[in-house]
Amino acid sequence: MTSEPLSFDDFVDLLRERIRDADAIDDSELHSFKTLMADVADTTPVQWYWEAFEELQAQGHLHDASSLGNGGDAIGRLSADGRLYLRSGEPDSDV
């Protein structure tokens, strides 16, 4: 079954949320973007993983240890700014 393609902006937003969720389980690990987004891989252009990395990094939403990986993948975890960004968009947020 093929999933409905995401726009790039929606892809980045979903990736940011999934990194947050993975960080909640293990915040000492760098998470593979391809692994986190495996369910939409069939409709995701391969360059989006690196482009998403560059965008999240430019926004200050990735931890300094995050990096571009092999095979078009990227690995990372959220920075404090990335976590704050997500909290500020949540309903009933006091941020």
29-49 confidence digits (pLDDT tens): 999 999 999 999 999 999 999
Which amino acid is it at 91?
P
At 71, the pLDDT band (50, 70, 90 cuts) reads: confident
Q: Confidence band (pLDDT; 50, 70, 90) for 95?
A: very low
As a whole number, mean pLDDT of residues 47-63 equals 97
Q: What pLDDT band is residue 26 in, cutting at 50, 70 and 90? A: very high
Mean pLDDT of the chain: 91
Rounded to 10°, the helix 8-25/80-88 angle is 110
28/56 Cα distance (integer angstroms): 19
pLDDT of residue 15: 98
Band the pLDDT of 50: cuts 50, 70, 90.
very high
For the entire predicted model, the pTM comes to: 0.89
> Which stretches of the chain are assigned E, i.e. beta strand?
31-32, 67-68, 74-76
